[in-house]
Amino acid sequence: MAMTVRDILALPAVRAAEPRLMTRPEGLDRAVTWAHSSEIFEIGPLLAGGELLLTTGLGLSGADAGARRHWIRELTHRGVVAIAIEVGRSLPALPEELVDEAERCDLPLVRLDEVVPFERICRDVNTVLVDQDGAALRIADQLSDRLLAALAKGGLAAVARAATEQLGQPVVIATAAGQAVAVAGVPSKRVLDNVIAAAAAHAPVIVDEHVWGHVFTGEPAADAHLPAGAPQQVARRIAAAAAVAVAHLGDSTAESGSAAVALLEDLLAGSAVSEHELVVRAGLAGLHTPEGAAVLGIAANAPDPVSIIAAVRAAGSRTGGALVGRVGGQVLAVVAAAKTHADPAGDVVAALTEHYDTGPELTCVVGPPVTLAEAGRSLREAQASVECARPGMRTWRETVAQRLVGMLDRTAREHLIDDLLGPLRRWDSAHGSDLIRTVDVYLRHGRSPTRAADVLHVRRQSLHQRLQRAEALLGHRLDDPEIVTALLLAVHAAR
Residue-range definition of the domain harbouring residue 58: 5-116
34 and 169 co-located in one domain:
no
* Domain end among 403, 437, 459: 403
Confidence class of residue 361 from pLDDT cuts 50, 70 and 90?
Answer: confident
Q: Is residue 108 part of a domain?
A: yes
343 and 315: one domain? Answer: yes
Q: How far is CA 1 from CA 29, 226, 238, 443, 492, in A?
A: 11, 5, 20, 74, 73
pLDDT of residue 254: 35
- The pLDDT tens digits for 49-85 are 889 999 999 999 989 999 999 999 999 999 999 999 9
Average pLDDT over residues 17-35: 91
Q: Are residues 397 and 263 in the same domain?
A: yes
Dihedral of the alpha carbons of 341, 344, 350, 353, in degrees to the nearest 10: 150
Report the CATH number that the domain containing residue 60 is assigned in CATH. 3.40.1390.20
Digit-coded pLDDT (tens) for 263-322 = 898 898 887 667 777 887 787 778 888 877 899 999 999 887 888 888 898 888 888 888
Domain boundary among 60, 87, 116: 116
pTM: 0.51
126 occurs within a structural domain: no
- Quote the CA–CA distance of 18 and 203 in Å, as a whole number: 41
Are 53 and 145 part of one and the same domain? no
Would residue 414 count as lying in a domain? yes
Q: Is the pLDDT of residue 229 over 90?
A: no
Residues 212 and 337 in one domain: no
Where helices occur in 271-409 by DSSP H, the ranges are 275-285, 305-316, 344-355, 375-386, 400-406
Do 416 and 368 share a structural domain? no
Our measurement of the distance from residue 425's CA atom to the centroid of its chain's CA atoms, rounded to an integer in Å, reads 56
For residue 117, the number of C-alpha atoms closer than 13 Å in the C-beta half-sphere is 4
Highest mean pLDDT among 101-105, 282-286, 428-432: 101-105
Residue 291: inside a domain: yes
Does 127 fall in a domain? no
| 330/391 same-domain check | yes
Any domain includes 311: yes
Q: Which of 65-74, 151-160, 203-212 has the highest mean pLDDT?
A: 65-74
pLDDT > 90 in the chain, percent? 33
Cα-Cα-Cα-Cα dihedral sign, residues 413, 415, 419, 423: positive
CA-to-CA distance for 9 and 22, rounded, in angstroms? 13
Number of compact structural domains in the chain: 4
3-state class of 198 per DSSP? Answer: coil
Residues 368, 331 within the same domain: yes
Where a domain ends, among 250, 284, 309?
A: 250
With 0-12 / 13-18 / 19 or more C-beta atoms within 10 angstroms meaning exposed / middle / buried, residue 129 is: buried
The partner residues of 211 in beta bridges, in order of sequence, read 206
In a domain, residue 202? The reply is yes
Q: In angstroms, what is the C-alpha Rg of the chain?
A: 36
Are residue 309 and residue 335 in the same domain, yes or no? yes
Tell me: do 260 and 399 sit in the same domain: yes
Evaluate whether residue 122 is within a structural domain.
no
Statement to judge: residues 36 and 151 lie in one domain: no
Q: Is the pLDDT of residue 221 over 70?
A: no
Element (H, E) at 110: strand 109-112
Q: Are 262 and 394 within one domain?
A: yes
Q: Which of 173-177, 386-390, 467-471 has the highest mean pLDDT?
A: 467-471
